[in-house]
Structure 1
Amino acid sequence: MLTGLSAFSLTPFDGHGVDKAAFAGLVNRAAASGVDSIAVLGSTGSYTYLNPDERAEVAQIAAQNVGEKPLIVGIGALRTKDVLKNAESAQAAGANALLLAPVSYQVLTNDDVFGLFSDVNAAVSVPVIVYDNPTTTHFTFTDELYASIAALKNVGSFKIPGVPEDAAQAKARIDHLRSILPEDVTLGVSGDMFAATGLNAGCDAWYSSMAATLPDLAVPIVRAAAQGDVEGAVKASQQLQPLWDLNARFGSLRVIAAIAEELDLVSSPCLPLPIRGLQGDDREAVRRAMQKLGLL
């Protein structure tokens, strides 16, 4: 389950809160595509901007629209009690796996983070994906902490923050992680521009911020890598360079939101305030990239 292409969905907002109809449409659209699983309430899903009741409702809507695709639900929050509440509501909705990042305001220690995952591990009955995202959480995992957390019985995967751009260095990094993690724990690359390199280096999964909105562009990368077609995966990724350039410039959340708005998949603006979507020249840059990619 925690392999292949996992499509991370936006959580679109309107003037009243979560745009439930648009969200259901995004999940349903992804479920009808060639992705292998669907994830909600990740960073692309603006999970930190939702209260526990909103998150429980989002999980329920997702479960009603994923069809036969496995559902991953993010549960990260500042306080462990809220993480556990989110885990309970996600499992009640039918989540097949849980995504957990060590969200913080005060700087967390390694002991704090291990304690968080240990507490969650003891309370859940589905696999937990360790979400390593230092850009948003401002916490940096050590390899020793990876190994300690991976020994917990319900930990099923690590969502790692990209890989080195050099193919040999990327393979060395993945090989090292393989050597310190249990064989049944999968490795998933994130940072869409690193997908081909990470998969070719031996990652089991691509946890993708673009795949729920643009599944037809993401699937070829995973399929090529799965067939051992290294050059094919790289070529499929290189064709998306206009998108990677936008992500590097504006961040993937704002870019994917703008694309979803331009495709009329969601209303505009769709991001939770105070986050404001791309406008003016920045929005025009998105349109030009979409034209290059044949999306407009």
Structure 2
Amino acid sequence: MFSGLSAFPLTPMNERGLDEGAFVRLIERLVTASVDSIGVLGSTGNYAYLTKTERARVLKLAVEHAGNIPVIAGIAALRTRDVLTLAENAEAAGVSGVLMAPMSYQKLLPEEVFGLYETVTRALSLPLCVYDNPGTTQFVFSDELHARIAHLPHVASIKIPAVSGDPVEARLRIERLRAHIPAHITIGISGDGSAAHGLNAGCDAWYSVIGGVFPSTALEITRAAQAGNTQEALRLSQRLQPLWELFAEYGGSLRVIASAAELRGLVEQPCLPLPLNALSGEGRSRLKILIDELNLS
């Protein structure tokens, strides 16, 4: 489950509520493409903007429509008591695993982060992926902290941020982390522009934003890397460089991928919770051209 392509779809919504029909269509699109797992309620899934009731509804829909593909559910929240409730809800919904970042308003200390994972894993019966996402959480994991957490029960994977584009540096990064963690823990890469580098360097999984809307495009890169065809994986990723540049220009992948889903007619506009907005004007026009030129699917 924590290997190959894990596709993270949007949770389409407007100020009236969830767009359940569009969400189901996105899930079914991933099932048709045969991704390796589906990650719901991650950053792309806008978990921080949803009520517990809305999050529970998303889980129910995902599990109902995912078929035989395992569903991984984000359970992050500001307070530990809420994380525990969300973990219970995820288990009750029948997901196969959970994903958790150390979400906070006040910047967390290492012992506080360890305490969070210790408390949550003690209550879990599902495998957990540790989400290392410093761009959002403002918390930077050390390899030593990863090692402590990796020895807790039910920890099965670590989702790391982007690695260097230099293949030697990228491989050394993965090898350093592997030296600190048990052999059964998988390592997954996030940051789509870095995915080919991470997979080629030895990551087991790609936790992918683009995969949630354009799964076939992401699968091409993933399967090339898994087959050991490193140059082809890099070529396929490099042809998407204009898209990676749009991600960087607009503060990350969410606004761009939401706009792409709108342009493809997969979701209605608007599909993001205010105050977030999809691209407009020149940025949207550039994206529309790119989707066609790159033949994203």
- TM norm structure 2: 0.98
Measure the CA separation in 2 of the matches of 1:240 and 1:68.
30
After alignment, is 152-161 or 243-252 more displaced? 243-252
**In the alignment, what sits opposite 1:264?**
265
The answer to whether the 8 A contact 1:75-1:86 is kept is yes
Whether 2:40 is the aligned partner of 1:40: answer: yes
The answer to whether the 8 A contact 1:14-1:267 is kept is no
Q: What is the Cα-based RMSD across aligned positions, in Å? A: 1.0
**In the alignment, what sits opposite 2:295?**
294
Matches within 5 A, 1:74-223: 74-223=74-223
**In the alignment, what sits opposite 1:254?**
255
Measure the CA separation in 2 of the matches of 1:57 and 1:242.
35
**In the alignment, what sits opposite 2:230?**
230
Gaps of 5+ in 2: none
Q: Percent identity over the alignment? A: 51
Residue by residue over 1:72-120, the C-alpha shift from the partner in whole angstroms, topping out at 9 and shown as x without a partner, is 0000000001101111111111111100000000111101100110111
The answer to whether the 8 A contact 1:6-1:207 is kept is yes
The answer to whether the 8 A contact 2:15-2:274 is kept is no
After alignment, is 242-251 or 138-147 more displaced? 242-251
Runs of 4+ in 1 over 6 A off after TM superposition: none
Task: Give the aligned residue type for 1:273.
Answer: L
**In the alignment, what sits opposite 2:60?**
60
Residue by residue over 1:23-77, the C-alpha shift from the partner in whole angstroms, topping out at 9 and shown as x without a partner, is 1111111111131000000000001001111111111110011110010000000
Measure the CA separation in 2 of the matches of 1:142 and 1:295.
36
After alignment, is 13-22 or 73-82 more displaced? 13-22
Measure the CA separation in 1 of the matches of 2:203 and 2:152.
21
SS in 2 for 1:286: helix
Residue by residue over 1:208-246, the C-alpha shift from the partner in whole angstroms, topping out at 9 and shown as x without a partner, is 011020011111111111111111111111121121111
- TM norm structure 1: 0.98
Gaps of 5+ in 1: none
SS in 1 for 2:273: coil
